Amino acid sequence: MYEKIRALDGNFVGYRITGTLSKKEMKTISEDIEKGIAARGKVRLMIVVEPYSDITIGADALYENLKFVMPYTDRIEKLALVSQDASEKTYMAIFGLFSGIEIEHFDRSRYEAALQWIGK
């Protein structure tokens, strides 16, 4: 499940994700990202992954929850990932290398720092 983050204006798009997203939810998020891109050319994306007991932490789980990003890699200016799992920092760094997106990982305790970074 997800909820939209409404903390910043401009070309900011953000989502708080709990658990694994359904195909319908991914489609809705993708359409929302497309609207942002159509209106502004590029977007800055923030994803907050909330702890969830049924989610498996690891590269596969992270990919499943973030695969909606893949079609837009050339139109995402920055991506901030906020989560409690430090290993996701490594996965996101690798994703950043291949996607060309400027990516930063933030521990959940640094949520405000993530908002500031993505808003710059």
| Residue ranges of domains in the chain | 2-119
Q: Does domain 2-119 have CATH number 2.60.120?
A: no
Per-residue pLDDT of 61-109, as tens digits, reads 666 667 778 889 899 999 998 987 666 666 666 666 667 788 888 998 9
The answer to pTM > 0.85 is no
Q: Is residue 49 within 8 Å of residue 65, measured between CB atoms?
A: yes
Instruction: For the chain, give the number of residues.
Output: 120
Q: What is the full DSSP assignment across the chain?
A: -EEEE-S--TTEEEEEEESPPPHHHHHHHHHHHHHHHHHHSSEEEEEEEE--TTPPPSHHHHHHHHGGGGGGGGGEEEEEEEES-THHHHHHHHHHHHH--EEEEEEGGGHHHHHHHHH-
